[in-house]
Chain A
Amino acid sequence: AQTVTQSQPEMSVQEAETVTLSCTYDTSESDYYLFWYKQPPSRQMILVIRQEAYKQQNATENRFSVNFQKAAKSFSLKISDSQLGDAAMYFCAYRSGARLAGNTPLVFGKGTRLSVIA
């Protein structure tokens, strides 16, 4: 079974600075998706960014980018120009079988709580 590990339970960053959240995963598959979800105090699960394993280019969404190292099974999230609204719990997630997308559940890490200091 696939596992996702987030080794940083808590992180903090100064407003306007950059922070990187770590995630590693274990799989024997070659075809999969990786995600970062954000959970603010409202508890809503919000998709931050998505990466298909077959794509070598790292995904970017505005101030959010990933460093996807497939061989190392590492998938870190970089938040640039941090804002107070970025304060939340961040979950890394894995989904197997990109070609079967829509038919498998997400496997989540335990999360990293990010605080943003004004």
Chain B
Amino acid sequence: DSGVTQTPKHLITATGQRVTLRCSPRSGDLSVYWYQQSLDQGLQFLIQYYNGEERAKGNILERFSAQQFPDLHSELNLSSLELGDSALYFCASSAYPSTGELFFGEGSRLTVL
């Protein structure tokens, strides 16, 4: 158990809909990262938050947005969903300073029909 909690674990929805994925980082970790993993692909970095502020942005679509709340949990909002958005969405957290690695949650599997 990495200590990072993601909900929901599985989500099935239709094209055009909007969903919210939630992440609770490890206790005390200030940084939260979101990654997308499409079928049999590597992990693509979406966005990073540090103590409530956006710190880095990767290949995140304009239809996607995220935020980190004062209690440090984070939400990833995906809107106007398309079939190609079907993927495993990982949240990870890290401490600062740290030994370098990210600690990953179990992921949220999104299926868009």
| Cβ-closest chain B residue relative to A32 | B100
Pick the 3 closest A-B CB pairs, nearest first.
Answer: A102-B96, A45-B104, A33-B100
* A106 and B102 contacting across the interface, CB-CB below 8 Å: yes
The docked-state distance in angstroms from the alpha carbon of A110 to that of B48 is: 20
A75 cross-chain contacts in B, Cβ below 8 A: none
* B45 and A52 contacting across the interface, CB-CB below 8 Å: no
Q: With contacts defined as CB atoms under 8 Å apart, how many contacts are there between chain A and chain B in the complex?
A: 66
Query: A68: CB under 8 A from chain B?
Result: no
Q: Which applies to chain A's interface (DSSP): helix, strand, loop or mixed?
A: loop
Q: Whole-angstrom distance from the CB of A74 to the nearest CB of chain B?
A: 19
B104 cross-chain contacts in A, Cβ below 8 A: 44-45
* A43 and B31 contacting across the interface, CB-CB below 8 Å: no
- Taking a contact as CB atoms closer than 8 A, the residue among B48, B96, B101 that contacts A105 in the complex is B48
Query: In residues 71-110 of chain B, which contact A (Cβ within 8 Å)?
Result: 88, 90, 92, 94-102, 104, 106-107, 109
Query: B56: CB under 8 A from chain A?
Result: yes
Interface size on B, residues (CB 8 A): 29
A104 cross-chain contacts in B, Cβ below 8 A: 48, 56
* A106 and B98 contacting across the interface, CB-CB below 8 Å: no
Q: Whole-angstrom distance from the CB of A52 to the nearest CB of chain B?
A: 7
Query: B58: CB under 8 A from chain A?
Result: yes
B18 cross-chain contacts in A, Cβ below 8 A: none
* A35 and B88 contacting across the interface, CB-CB below 8 Å: no
* A105 and B106 contacting across the interface, CB-CB below 8 Å: no
A109 cross-chain contacts in B, Cβ below 8 A: 42
The docked-state distance in angstroms from the alpha carbon of A104 to that of B94 is: 10
Query: B14: CB under 8 A from chain A?
Result: no
A98 cross-chain contacts in B, Cβ below 8 A: 100
A103 cross-chain contacts in B, Cβ below 8 A: 31, 50, 55, 96
- Against A, the Cβ 8 Å flags (1 = close, 0 = not) of B2-37 are 100000000000000000000000000011010000
The docked-state distance in angstroms from the alpha carbon of A72 to that of B66 is: 38
The docked-state distance in angstroms from the alpha carbon of A101 to that of B55 is: 13
Query: In residues 58-117 of chain A, which contact B (Cβ within 8 Å)?
Result: 91, 95, 98, 101-111
